[in-house]
């Protein structure tokens, strides 16, 4: 019978396992997760891992969500500096997310594995991941409307811009690297202009 954890203990252990998984990848470029080593580093039994995730793919998806959530939390305080050029601000933020992700996909196997899993996973799991972006976009839209900066923002439309860029990103090896960043930036800017109506002052 598995050990019963409080909700706080479960949350703490999950974070420790995700951080340990990232450390393992960054230390030795492992091509697959070693559950025994993760358990050893986090002080649980190897079988105890399955109290938190049904399989390694689910862990990888949660690692991507965890890192995305951290990045979005860091960006929220910057919203106050975006009122003069909301589309330019958000375009720059999305571009920076994907530039960073492209580097990770090219250099760290866990991110390429996670992107592949995300593409092949069920819509329900994929939607839970994308809900992180929707929450951030709702926050930024509310700030902009309150500041009288925009008239409207189609959250679903902007979220689909992000989804589309992630599809381009997953296929980046097929594109000429010299043009990739320009293509991404142009696509993001054009998409945001479709779905965000800025107020004329």
**Angstrom distance (rounded) from CA 193 to CA 201:** 17
Whether pLDDT at 29 is above 60: no
What is residue 198's predicted lDDT score, i.e. its pLDDT?
Answer: 95
Altogether, the residues listed in the chain come to a count of 201
- Digit-coded pLDDT (tens) for 34-73: 788 888 888 888 888 888 888 877 887 788 778 878 888 8
Neighbours of 51 (CB within 10 A): 15
Whether pLDDT at 30 is above 80: no
> In this predicted model, which residue has the larger pLDDT, 3 or 72?
72
The string of DSSP codes covering the chain is -PPP--HHHHHHHHHHHHHHHHHHHHHH--SS--HHHHHHHHTS-GGGGGGT-SSHHHHHHHHHHHHHHHHHHHHGGGGGG-TT-HHHHHHHHHHHHHHHHHHHHHH-HHHHHHHHHHHHS-HHHHHHHHHHHHHHHHHHHHHHHHTT-EEEE-HHHHHHHHHHHHHHHHTGGGS-HHHHHHHHHHHHHHHHHHHEEEPP-
Burial of 176 (0-12, 13-18, 19+ CB in 10 A): exposed
**Across-strand partners of 198?**
150
Question: Averaged over 78-82, what is the pLDDT?
Answer: 83
Buried residues in 128-147 as b, exposed as e (16+ CB within 10 A) = ebbebbeebbeebbebbeee
What is residue 201's predicted lDDT score, i.e. its pLDDT?
Answer: 67
Whether pLDDT at 85 is above 80: yes
**Angstrom distance (rounded) from CA 117 to CA 114:** 5
Sketch out the chain's domains with CATH numbers.
Answer: 1-52 (1.10.10), 56-198 (1.10.357.10)
What is residue 3's predicted lDDT score, i.e. its pLDDT?
Answer: 61
pTM assigned to the model:
0.70
Whether pLDDT at 154 is above 70: yes
pLDDT confidence bin for 189, thresholds 50/70/90:
very high
Whether pLDDT at 10 is above 80: yes
Question: Averaged over 20-36, what is the pLDDT?
Answer: 71
């Amino acid at each position: 019978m598995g050990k019963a954890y409080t909700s706080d203990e479960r949350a703490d252990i999950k974070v420790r396992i995700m951080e340990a998984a990232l450390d393992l990848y960054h230390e030795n470029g492992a091509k697959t997760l070693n559950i025994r080593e993760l358990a050893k580093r986090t002080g649980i039994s190897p079988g105890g891992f399955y109290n938190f995730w049904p399989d390694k793919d689910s862990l990888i998806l949660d690692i991507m969500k965890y890192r995305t959530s951290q990045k979005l939390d860091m960006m929220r305080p910057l919203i106050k500096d975006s009122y003069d050029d909301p589309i330019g601000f958000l375009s720059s933020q999305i571009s920076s997310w994907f530039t960073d992700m492209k580097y990770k996909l090219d250099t760290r196997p866990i991110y390429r594995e996670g992107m592949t899993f995300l593409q092949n996973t069920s819509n329900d799991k994929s939607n839970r991941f994308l809900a992180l972006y929707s929450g951030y976009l709702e926050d930024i839209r509310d700030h902009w409307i309150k500041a009288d900066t925009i008239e409207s923002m189609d959250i679903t439309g902007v979220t689909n811009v992000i989804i589309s860029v992630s599809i381009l990103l997953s296929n980046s090896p097929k594109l000429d690297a010299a043009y990739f960043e320009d293509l991404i930036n142009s696509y993001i800017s054009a998409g945001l202009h479709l779905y965000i109506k800025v107020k004329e002052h």
